[in-house]
A and B are shown apart, each in its own frame.
Chain A
Amino acid sequence: MTRATRWLRRNLVVLAGLGTLAYLLLPNLVVTVFSFNKPNGRFNYAWQRFSTDAWTDPCGVAGLCGSLSLSLEIAAWSTLGATVLGTAVAFALARHRFRGRASASTLVFLPMAMPEVVMAASLATLFLNMGVSFGFWTILIAHITFCLSFVITAVKARVASMDPRLEQAAQDLYATPLQTFRRVTLPIAAPGIAAGALLSFALSFDDFVITNFNAGSTVTFPMYVWGAAQRGTPVQINVIGTAMFAVAVLCVLVGRLTTGRRRRRS
């Protein structure tokens, strides 16, 4: 066996891991690099030269920042709505025995399994028939609808795996039902709720299909990007994309650091 093959054998796992990471992150890298481009013409597809123009003026393109803040607003509200509703539903499904519980559990899965475009078209038909005018509210309602399933699934898994004796122990230690929920149930369910909320935010923020069917003349950020891509892609889109990615990475890092520190302190 040659030296090279031996080295390869020993490091195969590491190499495969690095390869996969590259595969996952390469698109983000390209977006980041091209956010510093100064394209000739309207399309930002070929590298010309380095420039920070777009970073210094991210709202320089008409309508971009408006659509971005609208998307953030919708994402925030649908996260709140879906998390509160979904957590309540998850507790009901995980904790209580009632008629139709099994079918309710199955039905909750349905929106996740249904093709998005079907759901989008059905929702649009529903709103049309009810005579609701499309806009902010129809988008919000639609987003809460599809986020709900994800929150329920995440929270239910957490609640179902919780030892019921923990709440009994709390009661045994003089905690009223309300204190038991606040001091024991909620903190233990929190990671599930947080996961559901994060997922909701991400799903709502970048949803295009359902939003496009139910938005009327309102334009969210994904719709803006889609529209812009037809006519030419401003560098600012890359700037926003890079910034979003950076925020996400920052969130993960902060999360890692705080749990790591808590573990080390004890």
Chain B
Amino acid sequence: MTDTATTGTAVRLTGLSKSYGAFTAVHPLDLAVPAGSFFALLGASGCGKTTTLRMIAGLEEPTSGTVELAGRDVTALPAYKRPVNTVFQSYALFPHLDVHENVAFGLRRRGVKSVRKQVDEMLDLVQLGDLARRHPQQLSGGQQQRVAVARALINHPDVLLLDEPLGALDLKLRRQMQLELKRIQTEVGITFVHVTHDQEEAMTMADTVAVMNAGRVEQLGAPADLYETPRTTFVANFLGTSNILRTDVLDASGTDLVLQAADTKLGLPATRCTAPARAGEKLLLGIRPEKVALTHADDAATVADGRNRVRGRIVQAGFTGVSTQYVVDSPVAPGTGLSVYVQNVERDARLVPGAEVVLHWNPGHGFGLDAAQDIEAGTEATGDTAGTTVGEGAG
């Protein structure tokens, strides 16, 4: 990303922060959203993502810092003068106006006289052409959501802000709308900034994801990079599931770090470790459950050389259809055990609770994390609903 070229940046936040009295909702934040991208702000409720979005929209005044849209400082501009539009959580459709007038609202406020053609085109884009004369309360959740998108997009904003737009929909509809939104974004080419607490949603839709936690951006990058190389325990746990082991660094001199957990030696390429690693110190080693393979202890000899191996005993096996999710008790992960997801391709009938097994994985699939962190950060946040946001209490 070329940060110096302002033309390629749709939104730039510089030192942007928000405090309510003694509570800091958003710590000074620097962020650049490339023009034309689908950008997601991901985090649990109360992490400051909605407040950040509202500061971009002009609905919340920042305590410090600036907001730039396409290179222009808009920090001092009120919401109605900013070239952005928002799709609100729960949509905020005007109940006294029909679908057509809801969509035409922005055009009319800007003095556009003949709105009919544009409104019809926009309703076609979101496939609501035949419902133009309905009132919002006569529409289903998915239809209301599409009206909200149409009402914002018709103004051709520089940036479209989406505040948990799919939160109120049921799972199936949400999947469908994710694809729909992605299609619309590709079609119109407008920069989308999408706030969500649903990690799967963020990963499916966004080109770039910023993971927020307690008012700070923990990590920013492409979904695959965030997933494969998380830099903090929060990201590792919030995006999907991770096994995180406490290890001692035995040797940090070569291209591969040598780590030890309980009595087991484990390898990790030095390039896979973003935290400083020195011999004699602690390091957290992370590994995703689907990257770990299970072999029955009787076949331990068949495990290829060069793989990390850990002994354990299955305590739980949950069949989910596409895969089986095992919890394996192991001395390297005292108390919690290790999660292992195995695709149901060739199932080994001996892998049942109580079986002694060898867990093994490619060392290059692991990732190293700073040992000074809470190992369980982000594990509970995923179940949160997006009900309340930080900004609401202090209007």
Query: Taking CB as reference atom, which chain A residue is nearest B83?
Result: A174
Number of interface residues of B (CB under 8 A): 31
Are B95 and A188 touching (Cβ within 8 A)?
yes
| Contacting residues, chain B, for A173 (C-beta < 8 A) | 80, 85, 105-106, 109, 151-152, 155
Query: Taking CB as reference atom, which chain B residue is nearest A172?
Result: B86
Q: Shortest CB–CB separation between residue A157 and chain B, in angstroms?
A: 16
Are B59 and A166 touching (Cβ within 8 A)?
no
Question: Is chain A's interface secondary structure helix, strand, loop, or mixed overall?
Answer: helix
Q: Shortest CB–CB separation between residue A262 and chain B, in angstroms?
A: 9
Are B94 and A172 touching (Cβ within 8 A)?
no
Q: Mark A135-176, 1 if CB is under 8 A from B, else 0.
A: 000000000000000000000000000011110111111111
A20 within 8 A of B: no
| Contacting residues, chain A, for B88 (C-beta < 8 A) | 165, 168-169
Are B95 and A174 touching (Cβ within 8 A)?
no
Are B79 and A266 touching (Cβ within 8 A)?
no
Query: Taking CB as reference atom, which chain B residue is nearest A188?
Result: B96
Question: Is chain B's interface secondary structure helix, strand, loop, or mixed overall?
Answer: loop
Q: Looking at B57, B59, B81, B109, which has the most chain A CB atoms within 10 Å of its CB?
A: B109
Query: Taking CB as reference atom, which chain B residue is nearest A171?
Result: B79
One of B84, B92, B135 near A169 (C-beta < 8 A): B92
Q: Shortest CB–CB separation between residue B98 and chain A, in angstroms?
A: 6
Query: Taking CB as reference atom, which chain B residue is nearest A162?
Result: B95
A121 within 8 A of B: no
Q: In the complex the two chains form, what is the Cα distance from A45 to B133 in whole Å? A: 56
B325 within 8 A of A: no
| Contacting residues, chain A, for B306 (C-beta < 8 A) | none
A80 within 8 A of B: no
| Contacting residues, chain A, for B79 (C-beta < 8 A) | 168, 171-172
Q: In the complex the two chains form, what is the Cα distance from A246 to B59 in whole Å? A: 50
Within 8 A of A (CB), among B62-93: 78-81, 84-86, 88-90, 92-93
| Contacting residues, chain A, for B80 (C-beta < 8 A) | 171-176
Q: Shortest CB–CB separation between residue B25 and chain A, in angstroms?
A: 17
Q: List 18 A-B contacts (CB under 8 A).
A: A166-B95, A168-B88, A168-B92, A169-B92, A169-B93, A171-B58, A172-B79, A172-B152, A173-B155, A174-B80, A176-B80, A176-B109, A179-B109, A183-B105, A184-B94, A188-B96, A266-B98, A266-B134
9 closest pairs, A vs B, by CB?
Answer: A165-B92, A173-B106, A169-B92, A174-B109, A171-B79, A187-B96, A172-B86, A175-B109, A171-B80
Residues of chain A at the chain B interface (Cβ within 8 Å) = 163-166, 168-176, 179, 183-184, 187-188, 265-266
- Given A169-B94, A174-B106, 18 additional A-B pairs, CB 8 A: A165-B89, A166-B95, A168-B88, A168-B92, A172-B59, A172-B79, A172-B152, A173-B80, A173-B152, A173-B155, A174-B109, A175-B109, A176-B80, A176-B109, A183-B109, A187-B96, A266-B134, A266-B138
